[in-house]
Structure 1
Amino acid sequence: MSDIEFAKPLQRIETPIPGLVVIELPVHGDSRGWFKENWQREKMTALGLDDFGPVQNNISFNDAVGTTRGIHAEPWDKFISVATGRIFGAWVDLREGPTFGTVFTTEIDPSRAIFVPRGVGNSYQTLTPDTAYAYLVNDHWSPDAEYANLNLADETVAIKWPIPLSEVEISDKDKAHPRLADVSSIPPRKTLVLGAGGQLGLALRARLGDAAHIDYATRADLDVTAPDIAQTRRWREYGTIINAAAYTAVDAAETAAGRTAAWQANAVAVTALARIAHENGITLVHVSSDYVFDGTAAGAYAEDAAFAPLGVYGQSKAAGDLAARTASRHYIVRTSWVIGEGRNFVRTMASLAERGIDPSVVSDQIGRLSFTDDIADAIVHLLETHAAYGTYNVTSAGTEHSWADIAREVFRLTGNDPARVNDVTTATYFANATTPVSPRPLNSVLELTKITATGFTPRDGGDALAAYLGG
């Protein structure tokens, strides 16, 4: 008891290994012994630690001084502490990346703990007899998981063990671990992109590439509404799910079959994804729509504006947003008037212009285009900068326009006469429709202050349109 430092304030200490954090723990003692809060979720997360969701508590008891174990890296996080005794700990970054091979060492007693992120090799040597080494982990052991091990005596990392390794007991298994040059590093947690064949899915593939840890899936590859979705993958291996999948046939959603399909894809599927993300510590990125609003606001819609969807599509998207919010780590990226690869409004107007057709285009719906390349960039930005979780509007910046205004600009940029575009109201445009038509929000302008405050600068809509047509 005399070796424990009492009454230290709770604090975190950064280390040279990203994500490896030492925690100083307050220990309260008297003549009877001592007490500490070993893991206290509210206080620890207030320090900036992830709410890493431990599922198992393990204890290793070591009766002899010099017991040496490791160096083992697993694909899960650990929160390590000492219940009694004192250890010399050594941690080596065995993750892919620029910090591979970085070493950190320190001593730990009951007044100190350490958070070890997945892929960082963990080892220790006992400095007192009867040492109880405890650790919380946020996944269960699996023979199929990817592990990495490093030899305790590796010359490259050159750990300065207090007791020479030649004088301590080491298991044959630990003695057989490879040197650093031969270690199979731990890859990043996987990213799953859903809706990989759609406009945004294609932009995300272009942005993220085909690295081994990026999975792309269409609904044919993975049905997230299936009852056994939780068993279809080892979800703890995933760090991010980007849901770029949606039912977007706005008018067809007003039919009996379309209504069911819209709710399945836009609400039921998102509910399943949010549950999986919440239970497995995954960050869920979900793409929302201006259709969650009724378009009657006098100005731009902020992220926290009240939902008031007009049609089935908007209602199903609003339900999906509410479901996505139940994931503790989520980004809802709200867009409007999406333009990417494949059939879309801009391509249609360019085609009409070249074919000599003079279109009538609605002039009472106001908004900004959202280009899929920019949406993909914004999603990556939020993930890489670890921006605060929540909802972010992402569209082009600059002056808002009507669909008719944009059509005229498309004509101009393609060398055609903008005056060939005729204005028409939404009511007139759909007056003679023979199939169900969804009501449209007349104001789809989204406020961009929040995403800009994270350091992401949306492109001007006019510049983006010119670049899109020029490509």
Structure 2
Amino acid sequence: MTELAVRTTPIPGLLVVDLPVHGDARGWFKENWQREKMIAAGLPDLGPVQNNISFNQAVGVTRGIHAEPWDKYISVATGRVFGAWVDLREGPTFGTAFWHEITPEVAIFVPRGVGNAFQTLEAPAAYTYLVNDHWSEAAQAQYTFLNLADETAAIPWPIPLEQAERSAKDLAHPRLEEVAPVPPRRTLVIGATGQLGRALAALWQGRADVDVVGRDRLDLADAASVDAVDLAPYGVIVNAAAYTAVDRAETPEGRREAWAANVTGVGRLVEAARRHRAVLVHVSSDYVFDGSADVHGEDEAPSPLGVYGQTKAAGDQLVATLPRHYLLRTSWVVGAGGNFVDTMASLAARGVDPSVVEDQVGRLTFTADLAAAIDHLLRADAPFGTYHLSNAGEPMSWADVAREVFAATGHDPARITGVSTAQYYAAQGRAEGDGTIAPRPRRSVLDLAKIRAAGFAPRDQLEALREHLGAAAR
């Protein structure tokens, strides 16, 4: 009996599956689709939503070549067919062909954009296929076709095509030189005006397959806005938007706004990504932890102190239900727009000698590095899951960061007075947890071992700080 195995082919992503078939004089039985075993063997998590059967009564029935906007898992229940596939996707393997006979012991996984065809060799043949999207006329309009007799593909049909039974539509399909390659699914960045959204737009500005949208197009806090955006064209969705008004989140109105954007909106995004088989990249925060651990690892249980942290932790749990996700937790973000580093540089230049909190410790995260980490995980096809990401280097307090800013801009770092968090707010007549000030984690140091193991090396935060200040000065 054949052992379950998944084999690669010259077409990237097109896989041959050897299926165990149990039989005796009465007939046979097979597990045609067994998610757990097949994923363990190397098959992608197909997520089928529709099962179709093509019943072919006569030998020689030939259909194709059709590239469809979904993944397919093909097998036969009875009979025997000759299958042929041509890569019609944009890229270096465009036009690559592969063929294989399909019997009950063989199944084929066909990725989106790979043209599929078959010829009945033994009839009757029940040709079955699972797909991970629902058929519709709109979906059919996205098909890409290739002529069965294309000379470039040079498929060795067992039954010559002139003797085969073909449809008039299949006879009219174009040759390879006339086929427009199937483009990759697009990437959507949500949060165009935020610090990370700007960094991603700058990093990906040369890519024609990236759309960056702001709240005017997609507002996470507005359910109707999320539902109104057609996410079907997108294979990757990067959520760089969030409600981040940490102190306002402690107020009754702010609490509702934070939950609407960071939880309800994220939940809708998760379901949209699930429905459209998209990878979701979601950015979270050190505020999901209470700061009691010296270093926070990815597996640490959430323990948020305030409303903002609670909403981010709840959003994290929703994102984690999606098999294809990257959840990046970060800390002390600095990028284009208002941020702590630029504020300190401005105070230094204006002769202001500030008091800065020194009992909160962490590392800076520059948005250029955060954007680069997202790009790396996607390009490297890194394992899905949660990653912590900040810049590297020795942890510092906010007061330490302020002193580094003053020194880097040619000012005396001794002008910075370090104070406790309680002293800082007491000088303003306020206190953490009083309904106007959110409690802050005292230690926000994130463990970077996992992101490094994925092949990404974060820059030292002081190097990134000086580069940021130099760019700002220019």
Give the TM-score taking structure 1 as reference length: 0.95
Correspondence for 1:362 = 357
Give 1:251's aligned amino acid.
D
Question: Structure 2: how far apart are the matches of 1:82 and 1:147?
Answer: 23
Correspondence for 1:459 = 459
Correspondence for 1:182 = 178
SS in 1 for 2:122: coil
Deviates more, 1:89-98 or 1:376-385: 376-385
Give the deviation of 1:236 after TM superposition: 4.2
Q: 1:139 aligns with which of 133, 147, 166?
A: 133
Correspondence for 1:265 = 261
Question: Structure 1: how far apart are the matches of 2:70 and 2:234?
Answer: 11
Could you tell me whether the CA contact under 8 Å between 1:75 and 1:186 is conserved in 2?
Answer: no
Give 2:236's aligned amino acid.
T
Correspondence for 2:7 = 13
Could you tell me whether the CA contact under 8 Å between 1:230 and 1:276 is conserved in 2?
Answer: no
Question: Structure 2: how far apart are the matches of 1:61 and 1:41?
Answer: 25
Q: Are 1:163 and 2:159 matched, yes or no?
A: yes
Give the deviation of 1:179 after TM superposition: 1.3
Question: Structure 1: how far apart are the matches of 2:225 and 2:346?
Answer: 42
Q: Are 1:127 and 2:121 matched, yes or no?
A: yes
Change (3 A) 1:246 1:234: closer
Correspondence for 2:100 = 106
Question: Structure 1: how far apart are the matches of 2:288 and 2:15?
Answer: 41
Question: Structure 1: how far apart are the matches of 2:227 and 2:445?
Answer: 41
Give the deviation of 1:210 after TM superposition: 5.8
Question: Structure 1: how far apart are the matches of 2:236 and 2:46?
Answer: 14
For residues 245-281 of structure 1, the C-alpha deviation after alignment (integer angstroms, 9 at most, x for no partner) is 1111111111121111111111111111222223332
SS in 2 for 1:141: coil
SS in 1 for 2:180: coil
Correspondence for 2:284 = 288
Correspondence for 2:90 = 96
Give 1:87's aligned amino acid.
V
Q: What residue ranges of structure 2 are gaps of 5+ in the alignment?
A: 431-435
Question: Structure 1: how far apart are the matches of 2:247 and 2:206?
Answer: 35
Q: 1:79 aligns with which of 73, 83, 95?
A: 73
Correspondence for 2:424 = 429
Q: Are 1:439 and 2:433 matched, yes or no?
A: no
Question: Structure 1: how far apart are the matches of 2:276 and 2:123?
Answer: 37
Question: Structure 2: how far apart are the matches of 1:202 and 1:389?
Answer: 24
Give the deviation of 1:227 after TM superposition: 4.9
Could you tell me whether the CA contact under 8 Å between 2:226 and 2:269 is conserved in 1?
Answer: no
Give the deviation of 1:395 after TM superposition: 0.2
Could you tell me whether the CA contact under 8 Å between 1:75 and 1:237 is conserved in 2?
Answer: no
Question: Structure 2: how far apart are the matches of 1:258 and 1:450?
Answer: 34
Correspondence for 2:210 = 214
Deviates more, 1:380-389 or 1:421-430: 380-389
Could you tell me whether the CA contact under 8 Å between 2:221 and 2:257 is conserved in 1?
Answer: no
SS in 2 for 1:193: strand
Give the deviation of 1:383 after TM superposition: 1.9
Q: 2:197 aligns with which of 190, 194, 201?
A: 201
Q: Are 1:395 and 2:395 matched, yes or no?
A: no
Give 2:446's aligned amino acid.
L
Give the deviation of 1:226 after TM superposition: 4.8
Deviates more, 1:71-80 or 1:28-37: 28-37
Q: What residue ranges of structure 1 are gaps of 5+ in the alignment?
A: 1-6
Give 2:464's aligned amino acid.
A
SS in 1 for 2:275: helix
Correspondence for 2:373 = 378
Give the deviation of 1:129 after TM superposition: 2.4
Give the deviation of 1:233 after TM superposition: 4.5
Q: Are 1:313 and 2:308 matched, yes or no?
A: yes
Change (3 A) 1:322 1:122: same
Give 2:95's aligned amino acid.
G
Q: 1:61 aligns with which of 49, 55, 68?
A: 55
Give 2:185's aligned amino acid.
R
Could you tell me whether the CA contact under 8 Å between 2:222 and 2:260 is conserved in 1?
Answer: no
Question: Structure 1: how far apart are the matches of 2:44 and 2:59?
Answer: 33
Question: Structure 1: how far apart are the matches of 2:42 and 2:184?
Answer: 21
Question: Structure 2: how far apart are the matches of 1:386 and 1:89?
Answer: 29
- When the two chains are superposed, the root-mean-square deviation of aligned CA atoms in Å is 1.7
For residues 122-153 of structure 1, the C-alpha deviation after alignment (integer angstroms, 9 at most, x for no partner) is 01111122111111111112333322111111
Correspondence for 1:352 = 347
SS in 2 for 1:87: strand
Question: Structure 2: how far apart are the matches of 1:198 and 1:109?
Answer: 54
SS in 1 for 2:304: coil
Question: Structure 2: how far apart are the matches of 1:271 and 1:11?
Answer: 36
Question: Structure 2: how far apart are the matches of 1:111 and 1:333?
Answer: 42
Question: Structure 2: how far apart are the matches of 1:15 and 1:423?
Answer: 62
For residues 34-76 of structure 1, the C-alpha deviation after alignment (integer angstroms, 9 at most, x for no partner) is 1111111111111122222111111112222221111100110
Give the deviation of 1:445 after TM superposition: 0.5
Give 2:450's aligned amino acid.
K
- The number of residues matched between the two structures is 464
For residues 273-301 of structure 1, the C-alpha deviation after alignment (integer angstroms, 9 at most, x for no partner) is 2222233322221111011111122x211
Could you tell me whether the CA contact under 8 Å between 1:330 and 1:390 is conserved in 2?
Answer: yes
Question: Structure 2: how far apart are the matches of 1:32 and 1:230?
Answer: 54
Question: Structure 1: how far apart are the matches of 2:67 and 2:425?
Answer: 62
SS in 1 for 2:123: coil
Deviates more, 1:239-248 or 1:136-145: 136-145
SS in 2 for 1:409: helix
Could you tell me whether the CA contact under 8 Å between 2:4 and 2:19 is conserved in 1?
Answer: yes
Give the deviation of 1:437 after TM superposition: 1.1
Could you tell me whether the CA contact under 8 Å between 1:139 and 1:236 is conserved in 2?
Answer: no
Question: Structure 2: how far apart are the matches of 1:52 and 1:212?
Answer: 28
Deviates more, 1:380-389 or 1:97-106: 380-389
Question: Structure 2: how far apart are the matches of 1:12 and 1:309?
Answer: 43
Deviates more, 1:45-54 or 1:439-448: 45-54
Give 1:15's aligned amino acid.
T
Correspondence for 1:249 = 245
Question: Structure 1: how far apart are the matches of 2:362 and 2:12?
Answer: 42
SS in 2 for 1:197: coil
Question: Structure 1: how far apart are the matches of 2:131 and 2:262?
Answer: 34
